Chain A
Amino acid sequence: MSSESGAVIEVRIPTILRPYTGGAKVVSANGTTLRELIADLGAHFNGLDERIMTDGTLLKFINVYVNDEDVRFLGGLDLALNAGDKVTILPAVAGGANNCGAI
């Protein structure tokens, strides 16, 4: 799907972001790091990258997993990716009476 360098990675897209992928639940993208992978998603699906990261950081409303591990505990966006890795994106389920949006 992409001519950029990096392994081809399968990415599972949550319902709320499927309008960006034409409804596709699983897409492929390239990247040697998670940051590159998300940028590649944005290159193919306009705006999708901005729903996952802005200003070089992951949005707090979104959880990203590589091989079932939360990337916040693995090095975040600089995490190196390898062929065959599986990436899952899910909306965080959170909220509460606090109106400050704290986390």
Chain B
Amino acid sequence: MVLRISADLVAALWEHSEREHPIEACGVIAGPAADLTPTRHIPMENSAYSPTFYEFESKALLGLYQELDDLDEALVVIYHSHTSTEAYPSRTDIAYAGEPGAHYVLLSTREEIAPRSEFRSFRIVNGVVTEELVEIVGD
């Protein structure tokens, strides 16, 4: 598996993560249901406002799914930042992962590594984490 994603979207996810740091940033990238190309960045509010936990507010989550349905779009990427640990799914991330078709992207904004150096993508299905390649296209 591979996540093919535009450089602009990668930059947008970094900007969101850096803006929210040290709170975890979270959001999605939607794309056409027909080809699942990550296309439209939708930052979400972290209703937990926590440096170690994120949650989409429940009404906003419902609105998001309804909007995607109306537009024949799918939830292609679900992302969040880890602000003091590596960009790898935690037990909590795995327990909550409820979209087997989505790419779960994690970004680390922890200070002891080079800025924008950890951007990783995973599939999380039935509790099993599989890392995938990230191919950044365009400038």
Cβ A97 vs Cβ B24 within 8 A: yes
Cβ B78 vs Cβ A88 within 8 A: no
Interface members, chain A 10-40 (any B CB < 8 Å)? 14-16
Shortest Cβ gap from A34 to chain B (Å): 15
Interface members, chain A 38-58 (any B CB < 8 Å)? none
Cβ A70 vs Cβ B89 within 8 A: no
Cβ A95 vs Cβ B98 within 8 A: no
The yes or no answer to B84 lying at the interface (CB within 8 A) is yes
B54, B65, B83, B91: the one contacting A90 at CB < 8 Å is B65
Cβ B62 vs Cβ A90 within 8 A: yes
Given contacts A14-B98, A90-B62, A102-B53, contact A96 B48 (CB under 8 A): yes
Cβ A63 vs Cβ B92 within 8 A: no
Interface residues on B, range: 35 or more
Rounded to whole angstroms, the CA-CA distance of A88 and B64 in the bound complex is 13
Rounded to whole angstroms, the CA-CA distance of A56 and B85 in the bound complex is 35
A-B contact count (CB 8 A): 101
Cβ A95 vs Cβ B99 within 8 A: no
- In the bound complex, residues from chain A placing their C-beta under 8 Å from that of B55 are 92-94, 103
The yes or no answer to B103 lying at the interface (CB within 8 A) is no
Given contacts A15-B101, A63-B61, contact A94 B91 (CB under 8 A): no
A15, A97, A98: the one contacting B99 at CB < 8 Å is A15
- In the bound complex, residues from chain B placing their C-beta under 8 Å from that of A65 are 58, 62
Cβ B90 vs Cβ A92 within 8 A: no
Contact pattern, A 53-93, Cβ under 8 Å of B = 1, otherwise 0: 00000000111010010101000000000000000101111
Chain A residues proximal to chain B, CB less than 8 Å:
14-16, 61-63, 65, 68, 70, 72, 88, 90-103
Of all A-B residue pairs in the complex, the 7 with the closest CB atoms, nearest first, are A91-B98, A95-B93, A98-B52, A96-B53, A94-B55, A93-B56, A70-B58
